[in-house]
Amino acid sequence: MTEESLSQEHRTFQPDPAFAARANGTADMYTEADADFEAFWAKQARHYVTWAKDFDQTLDWSGAPFAKWFVGGELNVAYNCLDRHVENGLGDRVAIHFEGEPGDTRTLTYADLHREVCKAANAFEALGLKKGDTVAIYLPMIPEAAIAMLACARIGAPHSVVFGGFSAEALHTRILDADSKLVITADGGFRRGAPSALKPAVDAALEHGEHPVQKVVVIQRTKQETAMVEGRDVWWHDIVDGASEEHTAQPHDSEHPLFILYTSGTTGKPKGIFHTSGGYLTQVAYTNSVVHDVHPDSDVFWCTADVGWVTGHSYIVYGPLANGATQLMYEGTPDTPHQGRWWELIQKYQVSVLYTAPTAIRTCMKWGHEIPMKFDLSSLRLLGSVGEPINPEAWLWYRKYIGGDKAPIVDTWWQTETGAIMISPLPGVTTLEPGSAQKPIPGVSAEILDDEGQPLTEAEKVGYLVLTKPWPAMLRGIWGDPERYKETYWSRFGEKYYFAGDGAKYDKDGNIWLLGRVDDVMNVSGHRLSTTEIESALVSHPHVAEAAVVGASDETTGQAVCAFVILRLGGEHQTDDNEDIITELRNHVAKEIGPIAKPRQIMIVPELPKTRSGKIMRRLLKDVAENREMGDVTTLTDSSVMSLIKSGMASGATE
């Protein structure tokens, strides 16, 4: 089969009987969960979690949309991820095979990880950290990221992990919003073959006047020259290495906050999505078991996400560790020092379950299938996808060239807000349909509604995805803003439906196809970015009068950031000088938000298309950015604006 013909053929894939015979997920789970979803979740909670005190009520939805799961129960999340495995004689099992980008390696068994977490917890407590205090974690992908998160969980101090690719500005806003007293960072990490500093961004974030931070703990990773602020900054090795290895994990309430994770929404300010303990741990462990089909005694699981995103929280730290699984953790990029690095790692560590994003698969497709074919990938028995829709071409390529034409693929739909996988096939049970996430997993209920809020049943009609029942790992709110929580998720179709913000449709077999965001959120390489947030960053530049941002479709990254900008330069827009200002504006966005938000394309325009009520018509700008014939312009105040924009397009710079 040639690569073109891969997508021509409509094929579905039946479960392989040998796979099905060993699969953790079973067809009965659907019937069981449908019959009594609360009883189903109570059973999972008792199966996957060790409770210090059993719960007496499964779900309290009386304060909807604020849920309480496993009410009255007490647990320690870190105990569940570490101590109980050591107590069960699994201390020698590898928890993390770490591979740094330069090729340095570390192996941490469950006993090692337990010891390191206890030491870190003791060291943080000695700095004054108490249950309920929040901690900002700003780290590269090194084992200390997981150690720091688990130490916080152990103490009951909610962490707020900020992705290392975010700027000092972004870190500053998140530190303030979560009121974090402690920051855990590193001198730097390795990126594309070179050390890349991180600590200076923390210093810059804390130079902004008032802030709640009392201490900054710095891990030495790259050994770069690092300035330390006297009285505030301490080295990790100075406080953790000598700390006691004994630390008793106190039980916390099932609803005790475990973490805050900021994500982009429709307005400029990022939302602090917060998750609690018992329900979250139950669902991440359950999904890692039935969807990733992880068998802790034999699998090597590799989730390629960064711990700075929810995928890393749920499927590097909490889910697999709660299950006692062995994982690979890799610090760097897929093409350093060569484009076969990932496949080399799979061969080296005998990875059996791989969980990655469509954008990475499409990038590897572009590099050519000859690269993975040079490596022995026969250890892989299951593949997963997350973060954005996976197009059938990429799905089929993934199966053929990475999965040896046999590994099932699970396309998993979920969000920072849902905390864990929600819609996905069950490997070994579901007949797979390339490109579709297919069905809610057992215990989860979804529907697709039309504009009026009526459930759609007919195939191929496009509507809005909603979740119709609460689920254990659901967000418990937006940190410090309960009204915004209700308004964002529980008002579009009334208070009974969680509005996910995604378009969706059914196919004729009743499979759900996710069709991308219906709000102002873009998905660039599986990273969530808000158009308004980037627009605010652009207009904060003194030369910018107005800006409009759209997500234009992009073959590799799914969507790409395209900005249309009106400059303040007295109405004159010379094409000759634009190159400089465009570069300056791209860097300005990187400074305000982070390099991931840099527009691929900035077009300097004389006007923006607006409706008579003054709303920017982003739909038309998207047409321009995607080089399409323009849609209906009759509602514009001035329909000549679009011709002006199109004729001025030559002045736009593309990277």
Count residues near ligand PRX (CB under 6 A): 21
In the set 275, 528, 541, 588, which binds ligand PRX (CB under 6 A)? 528
In terms of CB distance, is 518 or 636 closer to ligand PRX? 518
Radius of gyration of the chain, Cα coordinates, nearest whole angstrom: 24
In terms of CB distance, is 270 or 442 closer to ligand PRX? 270
Instruction: Supply the minimum distance, in Å, between the C-beta of residue 526 and ligand PRX.
Output: 6
- Pairing type for strands 477-478 and 498-506 reads unpaired
In terms of CB distance, is 324 or 501 closer to ligand PRX? 501
The dihedral built from the CA positions of residue 423, 426, 430 and 431, taken in this order, carries a sign that is positive
501 binds ligand PRX (CB under 6 A): yes
Which listed range, 133-141, 167-175, 294-302, 494-502, lies at the site for ligand PRX (CB under 6 A)? 494-502
Tokens of 373: 């074919």
Q: What interhelical angle do 37-48 and 278-290 show, nearest 10?
A: 90
Instruction: Supply the minimum distance, in Å, between the C-beta of residue 502 and ligand PRX.
Output: 5
- The CA–CA distances, whole Å, from 448 to 345, 410, 458, 474, 645 equal 40, 21, 10, 19, 37
In the set 79, 262, 397, 413, which binds ligand PRX (CB under 6 A)? 413
In the set 351, 437, 512, 625, which binds ligand PRX (CB under 6 A)? 437
In the set 415, 430, 511, 651, which binds ligand PRX (CB under 6 A)? 415
Separation of first and last alpha carbons in the chain: 34
In terms of CB distance, is 327 or 415 closer to ligand PRX? 415
In terms of CB distance, is 156 or 387 closer to ligand PRX? 387
- The CA–CA distances, whole Å, from 553 to 26, 388, 559, 627 equal 37, 12, 4, 10
Total residue count of the chain as it appears in this document: 655
608 binds ligand PRX (CB under 6 A): no
The answer to whether the CB of 468 falls within 8 A of the CB of 497 is yes
Residues 226-285 close enough to bind ligand PRX by CB under 6 A = 263
In the set 119, 215, 492, 517, which binds ligand PRX (CB under 6 A)? 517
In terms of CB distance, is 219 or 437 closer to ligand PRX? 437
In terms of CB distance, is 527 or 600 closer to ligand PRX? 527
CA–CA separation, 9 and 342 (whole Å): 28
CA–CA separation, 546 and 538 (whole Å): 8
In the set 134, 226, 277, 311, which binds ligand PRX (CB under 6 A)? 311
Q: For residue 472, give the H/E element and its range.
A: none
Tokens of 564: 């249309």
Cis peptide before 337 (omega within 30 of 0): yes
37 binds ligand PRX (CB under 6 A): no
CA–CA separation, 467 and 459 (whole Å): 19
The answer to whether the CB of 259 falls within 8 A of the CB of 150 is no
Instruction: Supply the minimum distance, in Å, between the C-beta of residue 305 and ligand PRX.
Output: 8
In terms of CB distance, is 226 or 287 closer to ligand PRX? 287
CA–CA separation, 529 and 407 (whole Å): 32
411 binds ligand PRX (CB under 6 A): yes
- The CA–CA distances, whole Å, from 521 to 266, 267, 358, 556 equal 6, 9, 18, 18
Residues 349-388 close enough to bind ligand PRX by CB under 6 A = 386-388
610 binds ligand PRX (CB under 6 A): no
Give, as one character, the DSSP assignment of residue 16: P
In terms of CB distance, is 501 or 609 closer to ligand PRX? 501
Residues 559-598 close enough to bind ligand PRX by CB under 6 A = none
In terms of CB distance, is 111 or 596 closer to ligand PRX? 596
Interface residues with ligand PRX (CB under 6 A)?
263, 310-311, 386-389, 411-416, 437, 500-502, 514, 517, 523, 528
